Amino acid sequence: MRIPAHAVCTAIRDDIVSGFFGPGGRLTEEVLARRYGVSRVPVREALRTLESEGFVTTRRHAGACVAEPTEQEAADLLELRMLLEPLAASRAAHRRTEGHLKVLRGLVRLGQERARRGQGEDLRDLGAWFHETLAQASGSPGLIALLTQTRRKIAWMYAVEAPVRPAESWAEHGGIVDAVARGDADRARALTAQHAARATEAHRPRVRTPQPAVNMSSARH
């Protein structure tokens, strides 16, 4: 499958987050260009972007490699998210639109319904959509971008266990939306902070084996 040049950065990042390219593995332009069906120019640009985001590092005599985050760096990301998400919720209480509220309420209804039915396989995607929409409702492009990057790196560094009591988790989502709808910034911040703290307990560090670039030639296309 050929991937358009403008999507190369997203494709490489997704492969890093999924673990296809393991920490420390080399990322050669030639092999990446062949994998994604593009020239080396967009690959080179993508690697520079991913290095600025912290997914890639350049080593002397080795070139571009997948970064190898430390346990402290991973823990710092969770702490950063616990600070940013409540801030986004408090801003959303003042800046949200009716469109944002409609989407958030619809997601809460879906989440609660599927939690009752035990359809846990859908809840993770719904939860991600909920928090992305809540961030969008903050009306702060810088905060939205920072949260997006933080979540991507957390998905790379951690596996997330399903909530033991998903109905309670979605009740918390509903409480956040109610506070945002009323314009109660303090309550929206407090509820989101509590929710983020509980969610953090379900994160478990991933263990990956680095996959060197020399083995990538047999990768699927």
- In the predicted structure, residue 214 carries a pLDDT above the cut 50: no
State the Cα–Cα distance between residues 169 and 38, nearest whole angstrom.
43
pLDDT value of residue 220 = 44
Residue ranges of domains in the chain:
5-68, 71-205
pLDDT digits (tens, 9 = 90+) for 29-48: 999 999 999 999 999 999 99
Q: Which residues have CB under 8 Å from 30's CB, separation 6+?
A: 40
Q: Do the domains 71-205 and 5-68 match in fold?
A: no
Is the pTM higher than 0.85? The answer reads no
Give the CATH architecture of domain 5-68: Orthogonal Bundle (1.10)
| CATH, domain range 71-205 | 1.20.120.530
CB 55 within 8 A of CB 65: no
pLDDT digits (tens, 9 = 90+) for 62-86: 899 999 999 999 999 999 999 999 9
Higher pLDDT residue, 205 or 217? Answer: 205
Identify any residues that bridge with 84 across adjacent strands, giving them in sequence order: none
pLDDT value of residue 149 = 93
State the Cα–Cα distance between residues 94 and 180, nearest whole angstrom.
8
pLDDT value of residue 119 = 66
